[in-house]
Amino acid sequence: MFYTFINSCIYQKLVLLCGLLLYFIVFTVHATALSFVDNGVTVKTVEIEDLIHIIEVKSLTVNSPTDSSIKSYQGLSLNLLLDAVYTSAWKNNDAVKFTALDGYQSIIPASVIFKHNGMIAIGENGQHGFTKLLRSNSDTVDPAPFFLVWENIRDISARKEPWLSWPWQLKSIELTSFKREYPNSTPPSSSSKSVKKGFLAFRQHCIKCHTLNGDGGSIGPELNYPVSVTEYWKSKWLRRFIVNPQSVRSNSKMIPFYRDVENRQEQVADIIEYLKVMARNKSLTSIQ
Ligand code: HEC
């Protein structure tokens, strides 16, 4: 009896130890690997060491959109990397989804990606790893292991392109389509022009962090289900919050609506119109 008790103690400790070890391995692999997925099927998962053998590592100097500083990164050309992993047929896909470790999800049309020069940065020139980036609420973030940056000094049009986001801490790249990713957030086809424009702006600027009827990223809260934000926020305050979140909640983690965007106020108004329409189109099926 005593013997079995000791035995089971050792057994329990062993299980615990193995569990911890497994967690550690999974966590470390998870944190430094980049997965390539094709419409739900993982085709390749690589570590930095493997990635640098796929194509040549180059330098790219960019104007950082977070603080307008000039930064020089080392990494792999996104277009060449996608060609190498998926063949040039990746361009026939509607869009490419970039998912970050923190739940951020940015989906960029394939046609916009191959018009510009993106780079999967693996470090900054002249140093090991990256300098930390400043976030809107004055804390910092390390963009490692992979940071998607864009040539925006020679290519000025990249600065004005609303689809081009700069996701850091990338964990996967997936070929996909908007239809597949956002089945429950599309407004009814009979909606007004401003609602449709609002949906487009919402996909470009908001759905990376928020879900709407379950579609989108998970940094911010769901905005429509079961209660729409338009049902408990007055439009005036919603407008002010979207334009400058910290002017309503001092410690908000949300970024202000991009300053460089054309027709900024009009776009915010369209987004609110879209949110109001979606308050009457709540999807019960999409939330698990
Ligand atoms: C970088 C991520 C990020 C982006 C981009 C973002 N948000 Fe947010 N948002 C958040 C987070 C996090 C919160 C949670 C509260 C906070 O930190 O203020 C939030 C809160 C909100 C709230 C308040 C929700 C509530 O229940 O009170 C609204 C409304 C909102 N966001 C709308 C938007 C809209 C519209 C856009 C696009 C123009 C947008 N957000 C873009 C991260 C983001």
- From residue 30, alpha-carbon distances to 23, 45, 46, 104, 188 in Å are 10, 10, 10, 16, 39
Q: Under 8 Å CB-to-CB from 255, ≥6 apart: which residues?
A: 136, 245
Atom of ligand 1 nearest to the CA of 253: 17
Cβ atoms within 10 Å of 62's Cβ, excluding its own = 21
Q: How far is the CA of 12 from the centre of ligand 1 (A)?
A: 44
What are the phi and psi torsion angles at 48 (to 5°)? -55, -45
Q: Domain 182-279 has what CATH class?
A: mainly alpha
Is any ligand 1 atom within 6 A of the Cβ of residue 220? yes
Nearest CA to ligand 1 atom 2: 209
108 contacts 116 by C-beta, under 8 angstroms: no
Ligand 1, atom 6, residue with closest C-alpha: 206
Share of the chain above pLDDT 70, in %: 86
Residues 42/34, Cβ–Cβ less than 8 Å? no
Distance 170 CA to ligand 1 centre (A): 21
Contact indicator for 63, 52 with CB cutoff of 8 Å? no
Q: What pLDDT does 48 receive? A: 87
Mean pLDDT of all residues in 42-46? 96
> Does the beta carbon of 280 sit less than 6 angstroms from any atom of ligand 1?
no
**How far lies 127's CA from each of 33, 124, 149, 252, 257, in Å?**
21, 6, 17, 32, 32
- Just give the CATH number of 35-180: 3.90.420.10
pLDDT tens digits, 191-217? 999 999 999 999 999 999 999 999 999
Tell me the C-alpha distance between 44 and 180, whole Å. 21
Cβ proximity of 232 and 127 under 8 Å: no
Residue 254 Cα to ligand 1 middle (Å): 5
Residue 254's alpha-carbon distances to 62, 150, 242, 270, 271, in angstroms, are 24, 22, 8, 19, 16
Q: How far apart are CA 221 and CA 228, in angstroms?
A: 11
**272 in contact with ligand 1, CB cutoff 6 A:** no
> What is the per-residue pLDDT for 186?
95
252 CB within 6 A, ligand 1: yes
> In this predicted structure, what is the pLDDT of residue 5?
47
pLDDT band at 137 (very low <50, low <70, confident <90, very high): low
pLDDT single digits (tens) 145-188: 999 999 999 999 999 899 999 999 999 999 999 999 999 999 99
Ligand 1 contact, 205 CB (< 6 A): yes
Which of 44, 56, 49 has the alpha carbon at shortest distance from 85? 44
- For residue 43 the two structure tokens come to 């085709």
Residues 6+ apart with CB under 8 A from 85: 36, 43, 44, 54
Q: From CA 274, how far away is CA 21, in angstroms rounded?
A: 48
pTM value? 0.85
Residue 248 structure tokens:
């309503």
List the chain domain ranges.
Answer: 35-180, 182-279
What integer pLDDT is reported at residue 160 of this predicted model? 87
